[in-house]
Structure 1
Amino acid sequence: MDEDRDVRSAVETGLAVDEEVVTDRDVELLRAIAEHGSIHAATGELERSYAHAQRRVVELEAALGPLVERQRGGSGGGGSSLTDGARELLERFDRLETAAEGLTAVEETVLSGRVIEREGELGVVECDPGEVRALVPPEGEAVAVAIRSDAITLTPPEEAPAPDETSARNRFEGTVERVESGESVAHVRVGVGDGTVLVALVTRASVERLGLEPGRAVVVSFKATATRATPTRPD
């Protein structure tokens, strides 16, 4: 999925990937499949036609690749779950929706750290809450790492994919400290240890869907390519 082929919006939010447009209804269906464990259960919850939903999943997969893993029968009774590609698609949709509704509200969290490893333009920076993978300068150790609030994804611990199953290589467990809601978006402040607070920009719909409130445990994740380190003078 090409990250640069992103935005198309009309009355509802739409994510354009190649020639396919993923809509709010598509995203709602995929999330319901993840929550209820099958397309049949998802359509029952959403009060939609199973045949239409099944056909739409097939259409999306023809354009985007595998989205739903289907298990048939067996001792577990079968069911469906989302692929890594589907989870990445949902994250992209969330970022698009957030950007469309709150572009001017983007904040940055800046962490001081030290580059301990380099591999081309990417590197590992040792910061107070732990190691952060980021775009790093070619020289120097002392850096400031900037993390944009619209690049952060929040996931309930029970729904978070394993670290090796996602392209978001930066991952911290944390607790929601405060939710500052605006008309369409909210800034969610998450403590991730050692006094560090990361700020995530999410839609109000996501706040409700994820049950984000003070004390809620979440997994914070963000991509290395969305995180930039700049040189600083050592103390």
Structure 2
Amino acid sequence: MDAGFEAHLRADGVEFDADDADLLRAVDREGSLNRAAEALGRSYSRAHQRLTALEDALGPLVARQRGGSGGGGSELTDEARDVLARFERLRTEFTGTAEVEESVLSGRVVSREGELATVETSAGQVRALAPEADTDAVQVAVRADAVTLHAPADAPAEEATSARNRFAGTISAIDSGEQVARVLVDVDADALLGALVTMSSVEKLDLREDSDVVASFKATATRASPRET
């Protein structure tokens, strides 16, 4: 099980995410689930199955009317509009937090392959996007919303994921908000590695101070820039 940075609401084992929000908004806009699915390029059967699963967890979301002079149709319930409002508040909180969260590691470029460089840091080697420069001394910036946390026993094999930057560490601190937690991980570097995760992920992973975790992030989400020596 892993904790990444993606806005979602969770209820009874079902996660409501951006795709689900798009589906409800399309129903509201188009006036029917069938037209909503068509507008989103989804099959009606899959949209119907997903809506059924959401309603089992969250309650009635779409009120359906059959026949009549207007030909029937669908409209969102008050519950659906409340879920959408909650989701937008969560996404706003995510966005505002992510804009200021970044960890910076110092290192030196040891090899290059096109736009990607391998940087030797105190935590180990990091793959990052790096422009050509006159110096190999760089600082590597990692956005907290790009870092995924795994329980050590559940961390995927390196060849099974595109997130090739992987570091074992220990949680140093957890700053919990209403929906989002800022987790600082000690990976034996010159700076703590920050990660933003949902509170539901904190609970699922049973994250706490001194917990062992594996932090991973993609090279394409990591930037290396020259630093003064």
Q: Above 0.5 in TM-score? A: yes
Distance in 2, Cα, partners of 1:120 & 1:206: 36
Report the equivalent of 1:89. Answer: none
SS at match of 1:158: helix
Task: Output the amino acid matched with 2:151.
Answer: P
Q: TM (normalized to structure 1)?
A: 0.60
Report the equivalent of 1:131. Answer: 125
Report the equivalent of 2:105. Answer: 111
Over the residues paired in the alignment, what is the CA RMSD in angstroms?
3.4
Query: Can you list the C-alpha shifts for 1:105-135, whole angstroms capped at 9, x where unaligned?
Result: 1210011111111000001011111100000
Query: Can you list the C-alpha shifts for 1:137-193, whole angstroms capped at 9, x where unaligned?
Result: 212201111000000000001111111111001000011111100111010011112
Which of 169, 172, 177 is residue 174 of structure 1 equivalent to? Answer: 169
Distance in 1, Cα, partners of 2:171 & 2:155: 16
Unmatched tracts of structure 1, length 5 or more: 1-5, 30-45, 48-96
**135 and 195 in structure 1: CA distance in 2 versus 1, 3 angstrom threshold:** closer
Q: TM (normalized to structure 2)?
A: 0.61
Higher relative contact order (CA 8 A, sep 6+): 2
- Tell me if structure 2 keeps the 8 A contact 1:98–1:202: no
The alignment covers a number of residue pairs equal to 159
- Tell me if structure 1 keeps the 8 A contact 2:105–2:190: no
Query: Can you list the C-alpha shifts for 1:56-101, whole angstroms capped at 9, x where unaligned?
Result: xxxxxxxxxxxxxxxxxxxxxxxxxxxxxxxxxxxxxxxxx98554
Report the equivalent of 1:200. Answer: 195
Task: Output the amino acid matched with 2:126.
Answer: V
Task: Output the amino acid matched with 2:206.
Answer: G
Structure 1 residues 35-114: aligned runs within 5 Å? 101-106=93-98, 107-114=101-108
Larger radius of gyration: 2
Distance in 2, Cα, partners of 1:195 & 1:143: 13
CA drift of 1:197 comes to 1.3
Task: Output the amino acid matched with 2:146.
Answer: A
Which aligned runs of 4 or more in structure 1 are off by greater than 6 angstroms? Answer: 6-9
CA drift of 1:12 comes to 3.4
